[in-house]
Amino acid sequence: MKKNAFYAQSGGVTAVINATAGALILEAKKHKDIGKIYAGKNGILGALNEELIDTSKESISALESLKYRPGGAFGSCRFKLKDLESSEREYKRLIDVFKAHNIGYFFYNGGNDSADTAFKVSQISKKLNYPINCIAIPKTVDNDLVLTDCCPGFGSAAKYIATSTLEASLDVQSMAATSTKVFILEVMGRHAGWMAAASSLARKEKGDAPHIILLPEITFNQKKFLAEVKSVVKKNGYCVVVVSEGLKNNKNRFLSESATKDAFGHAQLGGVAPYIANLITDKLKLKNHWAVSDYLQRSARHIASKTDLEQAMAVGAKAVQYAVDGMNGVMPIIVRGKTKKYSWKIEPAPLAKIANLEKKLPKSFIAKNGMDVTPKAIAYLMPLIQGESFPNFRNGIPEIKELKLKEVKKKLKLWV
């Protein structure tokens, strides 16, 4: 008897997460072992609330167009399932929904917390005697999942950050003689500085912007930083600083930490760019401007990396193949080839070795002064932003096809 599949998106979305979704659904349609392919409305909440979108109601052209659409087409969420030891209620509900809708394949597209969720579901399904093949699919602009060489979503965000750094630096440079001397760009990266490091790709020559890169792996040294800003401005006439949102002080506290926390229990960061800007104003008396790339860096599909897009689609298709082959509790990861010319392939890796772990910038990628990256980092980053895959434009803006998003009829009691 055919089993149905359930796919859900989790956490912060990316410019190419829908490309993964489209590739997965289209691949699943090819397999005789898979019946219906459902998508969760707003991620894992779609399963808990029994809000299942029937993707068979979508046209092939609409599914193919997903590769051009940023955001999360089916809705994402920040919702962390409780530990198995403390509560099985949520997991039992998931299994009840899976049973009611004959779901035998579970695909969870997300980052660290999502990998943990998929791993837990793969375990509880055995305990509750309901076989289901759980595959976690990598996605995060933070690029901090272990084992995989890179994470789908990161390459496109890196391309956007490098491009924005280049364009903004030319703006500042042209006005520096009579106006702004320092520009600060804040990018995502709570514990890992991959996003900030990507700004280095804006450089053509030594001395080009960004002049300073502040990474969460390195404790912020105010005195050292201000001295560097002053030196760069004296030499170039202007200075461009790129800073990770997760920059910390010598007390291991985020410089921009607020009192609120998100659904995953992470401290809500309030903006480190204005903190740095105020510091420059107060201590150096230099005119400056700051910007926070925020959602723009992860949703800029118009400038997506073709390499990133291809990898995002590949992990989606491979996830289906792994599931029908009987794999459970694994993730399709990207493995970089060892040849001089950039190459990659997809291989399965156990979630037990991925969940709740975090990949930070290695020491060999960080410059000795702690405020820049090394040529080794640039060699790693550069292939990930290569190529373009522009969306269709209508009336001057990207064309987005809307989905029908038809939900199936509920069979269980309301989840409260």
Nearest to 20, CA basis, from 137, 111, 134:
137
CA-wise closest residue to 189 among 292, 69, 288 = 292
Cα separation, 221 vs 228, in Å, equals 11
Q: Compute how many other C-beta atoms are within 10 angstroms of the C-beta atom of residue 62.
A: 17
Burial of 225 (0-12, 13-18, 19+ CB in 10 A): buried
Cα distance between residue 10 and residue 25, in whole Å = 17
Verify whether residue 142 is a known catalytic residue. Answer: yes
Query: What stretches of 22-164 adopt beta strand conformation (E)?
Result: 34-40, 52-54, 103-110, 133-138
Catalytic residue among 113, 116, 142, 144: 142
Answer whether 199's CB lies under 8 Å from 242's CB.
yes
Local structure of residue 339 (DSSP, 8 states): S
> Which residues, 6 or more positions from 150, have their beta carbon under 8 angstroms from its beta carbon?
143, 311, 334, 336, 384
Residues tagged active-site: 142
